[in-house]
Amino acid sequence: MFSLLFKKLKFLQSLISKPEAPSSPREDPLTGNLVKDLAAFRKQVGDSPDIVVREFNISHNISAAVIFIDGLVLDPLVNQHIMHPLTQLNEHDVVYKKGRDLFDSLKNKLLPVGSIREESSLTKTIERVFTGATAILIDGSKKAILTYIPGWERRSISEPDSEIVVKGPREGFVETLRTNTALLRRKIGHPGLTFETLVIGQRTRTEVTIAYLNGVAHPKLVQEVKRRLERIKTDGILNAGYIEQYIEDAPFSPFMTVGYTERPDVAAARILEGRVAILTEGTPVVNTVPFLFVESFQSPDDYTFRPYFTTLTRWFRYIAFAGSVLSPGMFVALTTFHQELLPTPLLISMAAAMEGTPLPAVGEALVMGLIFEILREAGIRLPKAVGQAVSIVGALVIGEAAVQAGFIGAPVVIVVAFTAISSFAVPKQFDVGALLRVVITILAGLFGLYGILIFLIITFTHLVSLRSFGIPYLSPISPLMPKDLKDVLVRAPAWAMVTRPESLDISDPVRQEFDLMPGPENDKKNQKN
């Protein structure tokens, strides 16, 4: 239904004449006259106090200027790496080197900076300056020297709060793009790890980098990711959530088709499987595509603990997600329409506890669910020390007071508490679970178990139809791929995961050698070889 509505909206939009797109800024070339170039620069950027324009002389006959943004570049670095070498330039070198010769000498010999490039456009020079570059303009040269010596404040690497692990590394992504790419390089030392950077956002000029393993990731997947990123024409991209909304396959679906993580080891593992990671400047969240439904139930700890315990824990997550979605609806349906399905002692006990309450079961479940969502939101937005206390104390006080006042029955409080605890077991499906839970509860209050069954059929049909960058969302369950079930229903040992996920259509499906199962006999064979 949503896809049909979306197609209708696109058709209506095509009938309406599109307004002319704003013309891109004209790329004015540098004139080589320092006075005119600085005047044109000030005309475009204004007189903001954080824009530093430092004019000086190279020797006595050549003028120059250094331009940078205070806060993005530190003054001591500019003085040490740029101002000092230029002001101490030998008089003899300046007299006999002018124009292009002087420009090449400064660029290639005198500036002790690792990253240097040249730019002939004033507009592009301004763009580079506003993203952290330092521009050097020389009178008589029609090109600017751009150096990159960033000096803004950076958050130190720490463990992400949203993905806590028991056994594993304690480092997470930060808001600096180059730090994040370096973290991935530390995890994957292979030269096939490739980074490609795009600039998205006509106003923010945000750097977005895609990371993939050349020879493993399918070239069509890489091209599709680049195509979807390049078609984004908007004023600003401020974090990874913006990117996700522009590149997902089903924008009207409650289920996300673009994954995310704050852990370098998780991103590296997905890249090794043949996926593509999307890193955005200014955010510690990294998107990964394609994203499958079963990934929501996987944790980094699954691959550090023994497989038997991990398999059991993973099944606990499946049960917890199903319980968080179905528990309120099942309670409402059984107490309202299908009392014969409950044991008689339990039915009598529940009827006695709910006797005299003013609201029906569906009303009680919705009210308590609303209170829980408000407490959860308050706990998230408040400071940590206060937020946890508000959530716990609020739930205890409100639940106990509601039962004592006869406003809510005790069984409803138990069901909502179990639902709340279960929803935290699968955090990546928390938002979807909340939405499905409300709809199922309402349908259970109207039609009983039949309403729940019909809605589940519609939901599973929708899941089967979903795609994430061309990959079926329910893979490897639908379509069934038995080889990939070793990391879905169970967690096979590491030595048994010989191949990468077949559902991802990988260029290199084999990840390790066969016959790596440890044991005394195999150890003897290895010693003989």
d(CA 262, CA 223): 24
Q: Quick check: is 430 in a domain?
A: yes
Mean pLDDT in order along the chain per 10 residues (529 residues): 54 46 57 86 84 80 84 77 72 53 64 74 86 84 82 78 84 89 91 91 90 91 93 90 91 92 93 93 92 91 88 92 93 90 85 82 88 80 66 69 79 87 87 92 93 94 93 90 86 85 80 79 56
Instruction: Give the model confidence (pLDDT) of 306-319 as tens digits.
Output: 889 989 999 999 99
Q: Name the token pair of 511.
A: 């990840």
User: Which of these, 50, 112, 52, 60, lies nearest to 82 by C-alpha position?
Assistant: 112
Instruction: Give the model confidence (pLDDT) of 377-403 as tens digits.
Output: 877 777 766 666 666 666 667 777 777
First to last CA, the chain: 63
- Predicted pLDDT of residue 256: 92
d(CA 401, CA 393): 12
Same domain, 311 and 287: no
Q: Name the token pair of 368.
A: 């308590």
d(CA 79, CA 84): 6
Same domain, 130 and 188: no
Same domain, 349 and 394: yes
- Predicted pLDDT of residue 361: 87
Q: Quick check: is 6 in a domain?
A: no
How many CB atoms sit inside 10 A of residue 318's CB?
Answer: 15
Q: Quick check: is 224 in a domain?
A: yes
Same domain, 95 and 59: yes
Q: Name the token pair of 350.
A: 């529940």
User: Which of these, 269, 211, 255, lies nearest to 467 by C-alpha position?
Assistant: 255
Structural domains of the chain, count = 3
d(CA 67, CA 78): 10
Same domain, 202 and 337: no
**Residue 134 pairs with which residues in a beta bridge?**
147
Q: Quick check: is 517 in a domain?
A: no
Helix (H, G, I), strand (E, B) or coil at 407: coil
Same domain, 395 and 424: yes
Same domain, 341 and 268: no
pTM score of the predicted model: 0.82
d(CA 465, CA 318): 21
d(CA 476, CA 502): 8
Same domain, 114 and 184: no
The parent domain of residue 104 ranges over 34-147
User: Prior bond to 501 cis, omega within 30?
Assistant: no
- Predicted pLDDT of residue 396: 66
